[in-house]
C-alpha cells in the first residue's frame, strides 16, 4: 500500500493566531473605529491592553476555552426605507474574525470566479461597471437584473459549513470557530434584565468581518454553474447581472439562477429581478446603463423625486416572458414618460423632418419601478414650457465642445447650444449620445429621454 503523506492539521488557524497576524488584525479593527459590542469595550480600550490581550485570545482559542460573545443589534436609519439591521461582535471577536478571514482569503480567492467583484482584494465597483459596459458594446444587450432576497439574513449555516468543509478539509478547529461565530445570538437593545438574546438558526451577521468572505464562498457555486452553462455573469455580492445576446437566452439564465438559488434555500427578490433590453436602461451598483453608455447615478439624480424613464433617473420596464410577473399590467412593457403637458419646442431639431406627433403621455406605473430602494417612486409633473432638443436623425451625434452641446452629422455641425438653454433632450432611435453630453446635461439640470423612432 502506498504511503500517503500526512497533512498538517489546523495549520491555517495557527497561522491566523500568530502575534504578527493578530496585531495586523487589531490595527485594521482599530482603523475602522467601530462601535463597542455588548461588553462595552471600545477598540481603544482593547488596544490599550497591548499584546498581552492578543496572546490571551490566541491561547484561549487554541486551548478551546474561547466562546464568542453575543452580537450587538444596531439599526441604521435609511431615508424612505426600513432601517438596516447590523449585528456587531465585541472587539476581540472582530479581531479574531479579521485574522482568520485574512488567512482564509487566498484559499477562497483561488476558488473564486472572474465574474465576482465584491469583497475581493483588487476588485471594485468600477471594474464591475467596466465589465458590463464592455459586454454591452460587444452585443450582450439582453440583461437579467437580479437581486437575492434578504441574502445575508437567510444563508443556511449548513450551506456555509459545507463550502468550508470542501475548502478546509483538514481545518476542523477553524471550521468549529466559524460555526460558533455563525450561531452567536443577537442581543437586542432594550430594558430587559437580563438582556434578551435572539438565537440565530441561519444567516451571516452583517457587521462581522468574516461575513463577506463567507457570503462570497456560498455564491461561488452559483457563479460556477452559470458560467459552466455558458452564461455571461457579473456579480457584486447579492446583486448580479446575466447578459445575453437574445431574450430567450436571458430567460434561460434567469430560470437557471432561480433553480440554483432554490437548492440553497435562497430566492430571488421578485421586485428587483427582471429581464430587460439594454436600450431600455437599467441601474447596477449605483450606475445608469443605457445602450453602450454608463455614468454614475450621483451625477444624474435631481434634487427632487426621479422622473420615470427621463434621465437622470431611468426606470426600465420589464420585458414580458415566461418569468414575467403575471400580476403586472400589460402597459408596463413600455417605458413611461412623465405625466404632464406635451413639451413646447423652441430649439431646432437635428433633422429636416419635423416630429409629426406630440410626445405620448402615459400614466405612471409604480409597479414598473425596477428597484424598491429608489428614494421616492412619486412622479412629478413637468413644467408647462420646456426647451426641448429633439434628435431624430440616425446619423446625428450629440457631443460636447467647450461646455456646449454640439449636434454633428459627419463632419458638419448642425447645432451648438449651451446646456443651460436646454431643459430636455429627446432621442429618437439609434442616435449616438456621448457620455460627456449626458453628464453635462445632468449637471445643468436637464434630462434625456430615449425613445424608439416611432416615439415609444
Region 333-345: what's the mean pLDDT? 29
Strand partners, 147: 239
For the residues 40-55, what does the mean pLDDT come to? 94
- The CATH architecture one would assign to domain 113-156+202-297 is 2-Layer Sandwich (3.30)
pLDDT at position 34 is 87
| CA-to-CA dists, residue 324 to 83, 240, 290, 316, 393, angstroms | 29, 18, 21, 14, 34
- Pairing outcome for strands 186-187 and 71-78: parallel
Q: Are 278 and 314 in contact (CB under 8 A)?
A: no
**pLDDT > 80? residue 65:** yes
Judged against a pLDDT cut of 60, whether residue 342 lies above it is answered with no
- Mean of the per-residue pLDDT values for the chain? 77
Secondary structure class of 383 (helix, strand, coil): coil
Helix (H, G, I), strand (E, B) or coil at 220: helix
- Which residues are CB-neighbours of 201 under 8 A, at least 6 positions away? 157
pLDDT at residue 199, rounded to an integer: 78
Q: What is the pLDDT of residue 135?
A: 92
Count of all residues that appear for the chain in the document: 456
Would you state the pLDDT for residue 431? Answer: 85
Distances, alpha carbon 165 to alpha carbons 104, 169, 212, 214, in Å: 13, 5, 18, 12
**pLDDT single digits (tens) 141-186:** 999 999 999 999 999 999 999 999 999 998 999 999 999 999 999 9
211 neighbors 238 (Cβ within 8 angstroms): no
Mean pLDDT computed over 321-326: 32
Mean pLDDT, residues 31-57: 93
CATH 3.30.70.270 domain locations along the chain: 113-156+202-297
CA-nearest of 92, 82, 75, 96 to 40 is 92
Please tell me the least confidently modeled range out of 73-82, 93-102, 290-299, 379-388: 379-388
Q: Band of the pLDDT at 439, cuts 50, 70, 90?
A: confident
CA distance 205 to 84: 12
Predicted structure pTM score = 0.64
Label each residue of 120-161 as H, E or C: CCCCCHHHHHHHHHHHHHCCCCEEEEEEECCHHHHCEHHHHH
The reported pLDDT for the residue numbered 454 is: 59
* More reliable by pLDDT, 224 or 317: 224
Q: What is the pLDDT of residue 131?
A: 92
Band of pLDDT at residue 319, cut at 50, 70 and 90: very low
User: Is the separation of the CB atoms in 293 and 433 below 8 Å?
Assistant: yes
Q: Mean per-residue pLDDT for 337-346? A: 29
How many other C-beta atoms can be found within 10 angstroms of the C-beta atom of residue 27? 13
Give the whole-angstrom CA distance, residue 320 versus residue 333: 7
The β-bridge relationship of strands 388-391 and 424-428 is parallel
pLDDT the model gives residue 420? 80
Determine the topology of domain 389-451 in CATH: Ribosomal Protein L15; Chain: K; domain 2 (3.100.10)
pLDDT at 436 over 90: no
Amino acid at each position: 500500500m502506498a504511503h500517503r503523506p500526512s497533512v498538517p492539521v489546523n495549520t491555517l488557524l495557527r497561522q491566523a493566531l500568530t502575534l504578527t497576524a493578530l496585531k495586523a488584525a487589531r490595527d485594521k479593527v482599530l482603523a475602522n473605529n467601530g462601535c463597542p459590542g455588548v461588553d462595552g469595550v471600545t477598540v481603544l480600550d482593547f488596544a490599550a491592553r497591548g499584546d498581552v490581550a492578543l496572546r490571551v485570545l490566541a491561547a484561549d482559542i487554541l486551548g478551546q476555552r474561547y466562546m464568542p460573545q453575543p452580537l450587538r443589534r444596531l439599526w441604521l436609519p435609511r431615508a424612505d426605507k426600513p432601517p438596516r439591521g447590523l449585528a456587531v461582535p465585541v472587539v476581540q471577536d472582530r479581531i479574531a474574525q479579521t485574522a482568520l478571514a485574512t488567512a482564509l482569503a487566498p484559499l477562497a480567492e483561488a476558488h473564486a470566479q472572474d465574474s465576482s467583484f465584491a469583497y475581493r482584494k483588487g476588485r471594485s465597483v468600477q471594474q464591475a461597471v467596466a465589465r458590463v459596459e464592455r459586454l454591452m458594446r460587444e452585443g450582450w444587450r439582453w440583461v437579467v437584473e437580479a437581486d437575492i432576497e434578504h441574502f445575508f439574513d437567510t444563508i443556511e449555516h449548513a450551506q456555509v459549513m459545507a463550502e468550508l468543509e470542501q475548502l478546509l478539509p483538514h481545518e476542523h478547529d477553524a471550521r468549529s470557530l466559524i460555526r460558533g461565530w455563525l450561531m452567536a445570538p443577537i442581543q437586542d437593545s432594550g430594558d430587559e434584565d437580563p438582556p434578551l438574546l435572539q438565537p440565530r438558526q441561519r444567516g451571516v451577521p452583517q457587521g462581522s468581518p468574516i461575513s463577506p468572505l463567507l457570503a462570497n464562498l456560498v455564491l461561488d457555486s452559483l457563479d460556477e454553474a452559470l458560467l459552466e452553462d455558458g452564461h455571461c455573469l457579473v456579480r457584486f455580492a447579492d446583486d448580479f447581472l446575466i447578459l445575453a445576446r437574445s431574450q430567450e437566452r436571458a430567460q434561460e439564465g434567469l430560470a437557471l439562477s432561480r433553480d440554483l438559488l432554490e437548492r440553497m434555500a435562497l430566492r430571488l427578490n421578485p421586485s428587483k429581478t427582471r429581464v430587460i433590453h439594454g436600450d431600455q436602461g437599467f441601474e447596477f451598483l449605483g450606475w445608469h446603463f443605457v445602450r453602450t453608455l454608463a455614468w454614475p447615478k450621483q451625477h444624474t439624480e435631481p434634487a427632487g423625486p426621479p422622473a420615470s424613464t427621463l434621465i437622470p433617473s431611468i426606470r426600465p420596464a420589464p420585458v414580458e416572458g415566461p418569468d414575467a410577473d403575471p400580476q403586472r399590467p400589460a402597459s408596463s412593457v413600455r417605458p413611461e414618460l412623465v405625466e404632464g403637458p406635451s413639451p413646447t419646442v423652441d430649439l431646432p431639431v437635428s433633422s429636416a423632418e419635423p416630429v409629426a406627433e406630440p410626445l405620448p403621455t402615459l400614466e405612471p406605473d409604480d409597479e414598473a419601478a425596477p428597484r424598491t430602494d429608489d428614494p421616492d417612486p412619486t412622479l412629478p409633473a413637468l413644467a408647462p414650457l420646456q426647451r426641448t432638443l429633439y434628435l431624430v436623425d440616425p446619423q446625428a451625434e450629440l457631443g460636447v465642445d467647450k461646455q456646449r452641446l454640439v449636434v454633428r452629422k459627419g463632419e458638419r455641425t448642425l447645432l451648438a447650444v449651451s446646456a443651460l438653454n436646454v431643459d430636455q433632450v429627446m432621442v429618437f432611435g439609434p442616435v449616438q449620445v456621448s457620455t460627456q453630453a449626458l453628464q453635462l446635461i445632468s449637471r445643468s439640470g436637464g434630462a434625456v429621454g430615449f425613445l424608439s423612432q416611432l416615439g415609444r
